[in-house]
Amino acid sequence: MTDTTQAAASESDQETSIYDELPDAPPKKKLKLTWTGKLGVIVVAFWVIIAVIGPWIAPYDQAEILDMDSYLPPGAEIDSGGTHWLGSDNNERDILSRVLWGARMTVGISFFATLLAYLMGVTAGIAAAVKKGWIDMILSRINDAILSLPTIMLGLLIVVALGSSIPILIGTAAIIYASSVYRIARAYGQEIMVMDYVESAQARGETIWWIIFREVLPNAAMPLATDFGLRLVFVVLFISSLSFLGLGIQPPNADWGSMVRGNLEAMQYAEGWGILAPIWPALAIASFTIAINLIVDDISAKSGGDLAKKMI
Amino acid sequence: MTDSRNLPTIDSLSGADREIVETGLKRGATRREVMTWLMASGATIAAAGSIVSSAKTALAATPKKGGKLKFASDLHGPSDTLDPGLNTSTIDYSRGRSVYNSLTQINDDLSTRPELAEEYSANPDNTEWTFKLRKGVKFHDGSNFTADDVIYTMSRHYGEKSTSKAKSLVADVKEWKKVDSHTVKAIMKGPNADLPVILGTPHFKIIKDGTTEFQKANGTGPYKMTEFNPGVRSICVRNEHYWRDGGNVDLIEVTAITDPVARLSALLSGDIDLMQGLNPKAIKKVESTPGVGIWSVASGAYFGICAMTNTSPGNNRDFVLALQHIQRRKKIVKSILKGQGTVGNDHPINIAYGADHCSELAQRTHDLDKAKFHLKKSGITSAELNVAEVAPGMTDICLLAQREAGKIGLDLKIKKVPNDGYWGAVWMKTPLNVVTWNMRPTANVMMNLAFAPDAPWNDTLWKNERLGKLLVESRGVKDAAKRHEMYCEMQKIISVGSDDHPPSGMVIPAHRNYVDAKSDKVEGIGRMPLGSLGGYEWPEFAWRTDV
Amino acid sequence: MQRMVIQRILIGLVTLWVVSVLVFIMTSLLPGDVASIVLGQAATPETLAAYRAANGLDQPLIFQYFGWLANMVTGDLGVSKAGGAKIYDLIAGRLGNTMFLAGLVALISVPLSVALGLLAAMYPGTWIDRSLTFGTLALISVPDFFIATFAVLILAVQLGWLPAIASVAPENTFWQMARGIAMPLIVLVIVVAAQMIRMTRAGILNVMNSPYIEMAILKGVRRKRIILRHAFFNTIGPIVNVIALNLAYLVSGVVIVETIFAYPGLAKLMIDGVQTRDLPLVQACAMIFCGTYVVLIIMADVAAILANPRLRNPK
């Protein structure tokens, strides 16, 4: 059993570092990916590259309305020459081009929103764990309040109040998902704060910042990284839910979620293979999020269940 | 003379031809259009005429009684109301038409016929209207309908405390007077020939004297409401004591399905019989699906892009001209509206208003050179347009404009804003925004609402005193030629302007039909162009063929 | 444990209050007010003023909030500012609908996903596990409106097996009811079960790494028996928590499913409330959602304690 051997291996390294006593200690061995994990890495890398170069390799501009018809089937030829390799969308734009452009929006926004959620959530969570008392009380109640409201409702409230723009969407998603991150970070923080070595550090007179950066964060890093992947997926889906309500990414910018939403009607009344119009962006979302999850699965083979406890 | 017995009827046509004729007639093609088509395929005038007549008779079969009807609108919520004065949406108007009656009823050609008012007439200069009320009409609670109910209903549209949405439409009436138990008089502030048609619109449904609670509806209409659950559904059953032969089905269920794809799915799967608001892109699908069909009524409803005249860039006439010349009006009608609309000429009065439409006015066309010229003259290179999907196709129209603007070097940014809150926070408040207007009963009412210098809903805050003067004067003019001349001048003022008086700042690229869909088993839907499904008139007249 | 429950209830009450303040602040930030939205395009300054006066909207917002809070404490939910209907009437039927649907979904999805999660954990790396992993991942990864619309087009429009829209009319027979609710039920079970299957599997596999399981493995206990006898009970805590969160989602977060199936539930009502700026309505819904969340989390905690001897008998 590979799991047993790995555990045994890390036990034998015990003397090398004080951290290894911890149940949450990051695996010391280089992460070994299964073939599904490797596939995940390849797909994510592909989309990240597309996010960077997409606009240059796309045959058309994302906003270009080509004078043909909406929901043309894949491979349809354009009057002015050229081909819609994936067909045309509800506004007679080239779907392939929009999927390529959309990578930047979807991958970029979800990445930055998750990053921001982590900055906020981890800061507040660790602060609550370290400071305790009324700071913990206030932060935790606000956090409970945010968690108890449906995400889509909160998103609606914020986006309607402030208008839908990319920075606001990133901020909104970040605030909403920071609350989950907060819980995890706080739980890890609390657990680590009562560890002997932290208490001894406190006894040594180390500052709180030293403890946070040297003791708490490194120990919580791996499980948090696992959660990062999952959170990224939720952000992608959250933004597409907002698109369902008409509040997502604004035209002419392409993002996969709003492309699915905008072309959903094609499944009902497009002719021939034009009905595939919403499938392409849905495939893009699915491939990206599944790939992330495959990687996460591999990383979390050890820390996942423990994480599950703290995600609540 | 040909012997009429030897003339062919609709039954003599082959399957495909017959279908074309019937579909054409069902979709509202005129007799002449169908005859032209028949004659093009070889029929004589007499034969074609006979075929069309027999087809029309076949279609206009006698209504059958019985069955249930389920209608799905596009919007509903906690703000659904049975208070006619506060009615806002198709769902409200449709419910209102089921349970209430108006004084007058609007015909498909926008003339009027009697409803609760048996007879109505004006004095010679149109300053005083007398309405003789029908006797023996009872409200659902059993009480008699009298002049007091009319006076009470009308009083709710006046005064500071009135929340009526149609206040301005009857602001012309100085006083409503009860003459006797079944006669009322409207004393006007000035001549107005349009009062009867205005009173036929949904907000003037007659309610019982003294009603202040609208959780239940007490009207005189063909249906009684047995369940009203705002944002969920309502159920009406036939009023067995209705004062005329109306109300064909036993029960009407009214609900809304907000998601357009889901709404159409419900119609296609037979879960509903009538639906409001069909995306033009779905027309082909609906027409090719057996058992369902579209119901498209040409109207004067329009899409508008409003360039506010009190601020930049809308106060720059050249900028507006550039915006008008980049509109691909034909393309909008063809691809965005899928033919269910007509091109606009940057004023609100299209051919649906009949004689008041100014066909002499030159049609503005897509002309990038002119647009470029005016844009250069204006010195403006970028602008932000606030867009909400106020009617299906609005966003697409703006995206198309954005693309064309790029071609002349104008960076037209599109800021998409949510529909809710749009009318309060964006419309008439931001420099460039969009609007849609439903068709109004007359050209005068339309322009008076949205273009008169003192109109509260003047989209672009544009003031033109000459237009205001013409609007008031034309109400009293009886000479048709003179009247047409005046209306033409008004349309020209709005669209083209003159050297001293800039035009309105409105870009009106297209007028849209009301496009709805229904099951083939439902007949009796009218073609009145003031709203969805024949001006919301269907509840009284619709019937099922399968009972 | 009693102390813990009481403490949790108190914290829950504080959370409820925080939610009401939060919702109040956010609602007051929204552009436009009830009057301007209800009157819409037809609003004029006079009609706006008249509407506001008629519905008590001319008072400062903060007064409206405290008025609402005072009424709420006495159990009076108030009147919808948008249509004048009593909020109790608007909510009562919909709360029933929401609970009915959520209950049915839970009844089907919880046993289903725990069973499938166990199955995947029992045979990790096999084709059963792999196909479950891929299947659930695929379902989680696709927007729910896509799944819902797809299901309607296949099951209702193409095959005509089920109605395209949900129907929970009181006059329906049981069979009509079952058919009427089938579509949203199917879609929600798919969406919710996918999450729970993954969490169950992950939870159990994690416990499988702990020393006492390794010991059992070394002792030669069969894997199936280890999972069912040892690992499962130690995983109940996290699994129950995941279930609780998913149930909270079923009560409050199914806006999209409610929209697509025109199912008259609470989530859509709250969205409508936000869209019409109907403060009392939004607040009432927020209270229900928050209350449900608090209750479910407390129940999950109690369940976790009961399932875990170490927590049941603290040192």
Whether B259 and C157 lie within 8 Å, measured CB to CB? no
User: Cα distance from C18 to chain A (closest Cα, Å)?
Assistant: 6
Q: Nearest residue of A to residue C236 by CA position?
A: A309
Whether B403 and A164 lie within 8 Å, measured CB to CB? no
Give the pair of three-digit tokens for residue C252.
Answer: 């409050």
Q: Nearest residue of A to residue B281 by CA position?
A: A269
**Angle, vertex CA B199, rays to CA B195 and CA B203, nearest 5:** 140
How many pairs of residues across A and C have Cβ atoms under 8 Å apart? Answer: 172
Give the pair of three-digit tokens for residue B263.
Answer: 């709404």
Beta-carbon contacts of B8 under 8 Å, excluding residues fewer than 6 positions away, are B43, B47, B50, B51
First to last CA, chain A: 30
SS3 B113: strand
User: Cα distance from A260 to chain B (closest Cα, Å)?
Assistant: 13
Give yes or no for a contact between B461 and B308, defined as CB atoms under 8 angstroms apart.
yes
In chain C, where the domains are located: 96-277
Average pLDDT, chain C: 82
Which H or E run includes A190?
A: helix A166-193
DSSP notation for B260-305: HHHHHHHHHTTS-SEES---GGGHHHHHHSTTEEEEEE----EEEE
- Measured in degrees and rounded to the nearest 5, phi and psi for residue B299 equal -150, 180
State the pLDDT at residue A25. 43
Q: What dotted CATH number matches B101-204? A: 3.90.76.10
Mutation to test the C interface, candidates A1, A33, A149, most C Cβ within 10 Å: A149
Put simply, whether B384 touches A (Cβ < 8 Å) is: no
Task: State how far the Cα of A285 lies from the Cα of C138, in Å rounded to an integer.
Answer: 10
Task: State how far the Cα of B489 lies from the Cα of B467, in Å rounded to an integer.
Answer: 8
**Angle, vertex CA A168, rays to CA A167 and CA A174, nearest 5:** 90
Q: Which of A163, A246, A269 sits opposite B389 (nearest CB)?
A: A246
* C236 or C263, which is more confident: C263
Task: State how far the Cα of B368 lies from the Cα of B323, in Å rounded to an integer.
Answer: 10
- The string of pLDDT tens digits covering residues B222-237 is 999 999 988 889 999 9
Give yes or no for a contact between B21 and B43, defined as CB atoms under 8 angstroms apart.
no
Whether C54 and B161 lie within 8 Å, measured CB to CB? yes
Cβ–Cβ contacts within 10 Å for residue C107, how many?
12
Whether B424 and C49 lie within 8 Å, measured CB to CB? no
Task: State how far the Cα of B75 lies from the Cα of B259, in Å rounded to an integer.
Answer: 9
State the pLDDT at residue B323. 95
Beta-carbon contacts of B461 under 8 Å, excluding residues fewer than 6 positions away, are B308, B309, B310, B428
- The string of pLDDT tens digits covering residues B56-82 is 655 666 888 999 999 999 888 888 889
DSSP notation for C96-113: HHHHHHHHHHHHHHHHHH
In chain A, where the domains are located: 32-310
Give yes or no for a contact between A245 and C260, defined as CB atoms under 8 angstroms apart.
no
Give the bridge partners for C170, in sequence order: none
Paired sense of beta strands B128-133 and B233-238, if any:
unpaired
Cis upstream peptide for B456 (omega within 30°): no
- Measured in degrees and rounded to the nearest 5, phi and psi for residue A205 equal 90, 20
Residues 114-153 in A contacting C (C-alpha not used; CB under 8 Å): 141-142, 144-153
Q: What is the pTM of this model?
A: 0.82
Whether C209 and A7 lie within 8 Å, measured CB to CB? yes
Domain B221-298+513-544 in CATH 3.40.190.10? The answer is: yes
CA dihedral B7, B12, B18, B22 (to 10 degrees): 50
Half-sphere exposure for A36 (CA within 13 Å, toward CB) = 21
Give yes or no for a contact between B321 and B376, defined as CB atoms under 8 angstroms apart.
no
Put simply, whether C113 touches A (Cβ < 8 Å) is: no
User: Cα distance from B159 to chain C (closest Cα, Å)?
Assistant: 9
State the pLDDT at residue A205. 80
Give yes or no for a contact between C313 and C114, defined as CB atoms under 8 angstroms apart.
no
SS3 C287: helix
Architecture of domain A32-310 in CATH? Orthogonal Bundle (1.10)
Cβ–Cβ contacts within 10 Å for residue A30, how many?
6
State the pLDDT at residue A194. 74
How many pairs of residues across A and B have Cβ atoms under 8 Å apart? Answer: 62
Sheet with B432-437: strands ordered across: B341-343, B506-512, B302-307, B432-437, B382-387, B411-416
User: Cα distance from C158 to chain B (closest Cα, Å)?
Assistant: 8
Whether A268 and B284 lie within 8 Å, measured CB to CB? no
Q: Which of C29, C143, C297 sits opposite A240 (nearest CB)?
A: C143
Give the bridge partners for B296, in sequence order: B515
Q: Which of A70, A250, A264 sits opposite B416 (nearest CB)?
A: A250
Mutation to test the A interface, candidates C27, C36, C113, C142, most A Cβ within 10 Å: C142
Give the bridge partners for B120, in sequence order: B131
Q: Is A67 exposed, middle or buried (0-12, 13-18, 19+ CB in 10 A)?
A: exposed
Q: Which residues on chain B are in Cβ contact (under 8 Å) with C151?
A: none
Cis upstream peptide for B431 (omega within 30°): no
Put simply, whether B281 touches A (Cβ < 8 Å) is: yes
Give yes or no for a contact between A146 and C286, defined as CB atoms under 8 angstroms apart.
no
**Chains adjacent to B (≥3 CB pairs closer than 8 angstroms):** A, C
Paired sense of beta strands A83-84 and B382-387, if any:
unpaired
User: Cα distance from A94 to chain C (closest Cα, Å)?
Assistant: 21
Query: If you ran DSSP here, which 8-state letter would residue A212 be given?
Result: I
Put simply, whether C203 touches A (Cβ < 8 Å) is: yes
State the pLDDT at residue A180. 84
Query: Which of the listed CATH numbers 1.10.150.120, 1.10.3720.10, 4.10.640.10, 2.60.120.10 matches domain C96-277?
Result: 1.10.3720.10
SS3 B528: coil
State the pLDDT at residue A17. 43
SS3 content of chain C, % helix, strand, coil (to 5): 80, 0, 20
- Measured in degrees and rounded to the nearest 5, phi and psi for residue B519 equal -75, 145
Give yes or no for a contact between C237 and C308, defined as CB atoms under 8 angstroms apart.
yes
Give the pair of three-digit tokens for residue C49.
Answer: 């003023």
Cβ–Cβ contacts within 10 Å for residue B188, how many?
20
Give yes or no for a contact between A18 and A197, defined as CB atoms under 8 angstroms apart.
yes
Give yes or no for a contact between A233 and C140, defined as CB atoms under 8 angstroms apart.
yes
Q: Give the orientation angle of helix A166-193 with respect to helix A279-311, to 10 degrees.
A: 30
User: Cα distance from B517 to chain C (closest Cα, Å)?
Assistant: 16
Q: Give the orientation angle of helix C232-252 with respect to helix C279-307, to 10 degrees.
A: 170
Whether C49 and B262 lie within 8 Å, measured CB to CB? no
Beta-carbon contacts of B107 under 8 Å, excluding residues fewer than 6 positions away, are B113, B528
Whether B456 and C44 lie within 8 Å, measured CB to CB? yes
State the pLDDT at residue A35. 83
Put simply, whether B80 touches C (Cβ < 8 Å) is: yes
* C309 or B543, which is more confident: B543
Say which range, B38-42, B536-540, C3-7, C83-87, has the weakest mean pLDDT. B38-42
Nearest alpha-carbon partner for B278 in B260, B262, B290, B293: B260
Q: What dotted CATH number matches B302-512? A: 3.10.105.10
Put simply, whether B271 touches C (Cβ < 8 Å) is: yes
Give the bridge partners for B385, in sequence order: B414
Q: Average pLDDT, stretch B212-222?
A: 92
Task: State how far the Cα of B392 lies from the Cα of B419, in Å rounded to an integer.
Answer: 12
Within B459-530, where are the H helices?
A: 465-474, 480-495
Nearest alpha-carbon partner for C265 in C143, C168, C151: C168
Q: Nearest residue of A to residue B264 by CA position?
A: A268
Whether B399 and A64 lie within 8 Å, measured CB to CB? no
* B223 or C138, which is more confident: B223
In chain B, where the domains are located: 4-60, 101-204, 221-298+513-544, 302-512
For chain A (length 312 residues), average pLDDT per consecutive 10?
34 40 44 80 94 89 75 81 83 89 91 93 87 87 87 86 86 91 82 76 79 74 73 87 81 84 87 88 90 80 47 41
Q: Is A164 exposed, middle or buried (0-12, 13-18, 19+ CB in 10 A)?
A: buried
- The string of pLDDT tens digits covering residues B237-287 is 999 999 998 899 999 999 999 888 889 999 999 999 999 999 888 998 899
Q: Nearest residue of C to residue A238 by CA position?
A: C143
Nearest alpha-carbon partner for C277 in C16, C112, C33, C12: C33
- Measured in degrees and rounded to the nearest 5, phi and psi for residue A217 equal -60, -50
Q: Give the orientation angle of helix B45-59 with respect to helix B15-26, to 10 degrees.
A: 70
Residue linked to tokens 């900055």: A119
Q: Nearest residue of B to residue C39 by CA position?
A: B165
DSSP notation for C199-261: HHHHHHHHHHTSHHHHHHHHHT--HHHIIIIIIHHHHHHHHHHHHHHHHHHHHHS-HHHHHHT
Q: Which residues on chain B are in Cβ contact (under 8 Å) with A92?
A: 335
Asked if the interface predicted TM-score (ipTM) of this complex is over 0.90, the answer is: no
Whether A268 and B265 lie within 8 Å, measured CB to CB? yes
SS3 B77: coil
Residues belonging to chain A with any Cβ–Cβ distance to chain B shorter than 8 Å: 63-65, 67, 69-71, 90-92, 159-160, 163-164, 245-247, 250-252, 264-265, 267-269, 271
Q: Which residues on chain A are in Cβ contact (under 8 Å) with C199?
A: 308
Put simply, whether C15 touches A (Cβ < 8 Å) is: yes
Put simply, whether C30 touches A (Cβ < 8 Å) is: yes
SS3 B177: strand
Q: Is B394 exposed, middle or buried (0-12, 13-18, 19+ CB in 10 A)?
A: buried
Nearest alpha-carbon partner for A120 in A153, A154, A144, A143: A143
Give the pair of three-digit tokens for residue C184.
Answer: 């949203």
CA dihedral C12, C15, C21, C26 (to 10 degrees): -120
- The string of pLDDT tens digits covering residues B177-202 is 999 999 999 999 988 888 999 999 99
Put simply, whether C296 touches A (Cβ < 8 Å) is: no
Mutation to test the C interface, candidates A138, A153, A265, most C Cβ within 10 Å: A153
List the beta strands (DSSP E) in B161-212.
173-180, 183-188
Q: Which residues on chain C are in Cβ contact (under 8 Å) with B260?
A: none
